[in-house]
Structure 1
Amino acid sequence: MAVSSLSLSLASTTLPNRLNVSPSTSTPRPTVLCSHNVITCSRDTTDNEERNSKRRPLLLGLGALALSLLPASSLLAEEIPANYAAFVDKSDGYSYYYPSDWREFDFRGHDSAFKDRYLQLQNVRVSFIPTDKSDIHDMGPIEEVIYNLVTHVYSTPTQVADIFDMRERTIDGKNYYTFEYTLTSPNFSRAAFASVAVANGRYYTLIVGANERRWRRVRNKLKVVADSFKVLDI
Structure 2
Amino acid sequence: MAVSSLSLSLASTTLPNRLNVSPYQHPKVLLCSGCERVMCCLPAVRNSKRRPLLMGVGALALSLLPASSLLAEEIPANYDAFVDKADGYSYYYPSDWRDFDFRGHDSAFKDRYLQLQNVRVSFIPTDKSDIRDMGPMEEVIYNLVTHVYSTPTQVADIFDMQERTIDGKNYYTFEYTLTSPNFSRAAFASIAVANGRYYTLIVGANERRWRRVRNKLKVVADSFKVLDI
TM-score in terms of structure 1 length: 0.75
My pick for the range that moved more, 72-81 or 129-138, is 72-81
- The match for 1:2 is 2
Q: Secondary structure at the match of 1:132?
A: coil
Deviations 1:57-94 (A, max 9, x none): 44556797995577997741110000000001111111
Asked if 2 retains the 8 angstrom alpha-carbon contact of 1:94 and 1:229, the reply is: yes
Which runs of 5 or more residues in structure 2 are unaligned? Answer: 38-45
Q: Secondary structure at the match of 1:20?
A: coil
**Aligned-residue CA RMSD (Å):** 8.4
Distance 1:21 1:125 in 2: 12
Q: CA deviation at 1:52?
A: 3.5
Distance 1:162 1:174 in 2: 27
Deviations 1:8-35 (A, max 9, x none): 8999999999999999xxxxx99997xx
Q: CA deviation at 1:55?
A: 2.0
Asked if 2 retains the 8 angstrom alpha-carbon contact of 1:97 and 1:229, the reply is: yes
Q: CA deviation at 1:7?
A: 2.6
Cα 1:12–1:190, aligned 2, differ >3 Å: closer, same or farther?
A: closer
Find the partner of 1:103 among 88, 98, 105: 98
Q: CA deviation at 1:6?
A: 5.0
Distance 2:137 2:112 in 1: 34
Q: CA deviation at 1:217?
A: 0.2
My pick for the range that moved more, 194-203 or 74-83, is 74-83
My pick for the range that moved more, 59-68 or 204-213, is 59-68
Distance 2:96 2:226 in 1: 24
Deviations 1:164-219 (A, max 9, x none): 11101111111100000000000000000000000111100000000000000000
Cα 1:3–1:225, aligned 2, differ >3 Å: closer, same or farther?
A: closer
- The match for 2:28 is 31
Cα 1:5–1:209, aligned 2, differ >3 Å: closer, same or farther?
A: closer
Cα 1:203–1:73, aligned 2, differ >3 Å: closer, same or farther?
A: farther
Q: Secondary structure at the match of 2:190?
A: strand
Asked if 2 retains the 8 angstrom alpha-carbon contact of 1:163 and 1:181, the reply is: yes
Distance 2:22 2:183 in 1: 16
* Percentage of matched positions with identical amino acids: 94
Cα 1:109–1:100, aligned 2, differ >3 Å: closer, same or farther?
A: same
Cα 1:190–1:8, aligned 2, differ >3 Å: closer, same or farther?
A: closer
Which runs of 5 or more residues in structure 1 are unaligned? Answer: 24-28, 34-40, 44-50
Cα 1:72–1:120, aligned 2, differ >3 Å: closer, same or farther?
A: same
Q: Secondary structure at the match of 2:218?
A: helix
Distance 2:157 2:215 in 1: 18
Q: Secondary structure at the match of 1:19?
A: coil
TM-score in terms of structure 2 length: 0.76
Q: CA deviation at 1:160?
A: 0.0
Cα 1:5–1:105, aligned 2, differ >3 Å: closer, same or farther?
A: closer
* Number of aligned residues: 215
Distance 1:87 1:187 in 2: 34
Distance 1:106 1:19 in 2: 14
Find the partner of 1:42 among 36, 41, 54: 36
Distance 1:60 1:30 in 2: 13
Cα 1:18–1:123, aligned 2, differ >3 Å: closer, same or farther?
A: closer
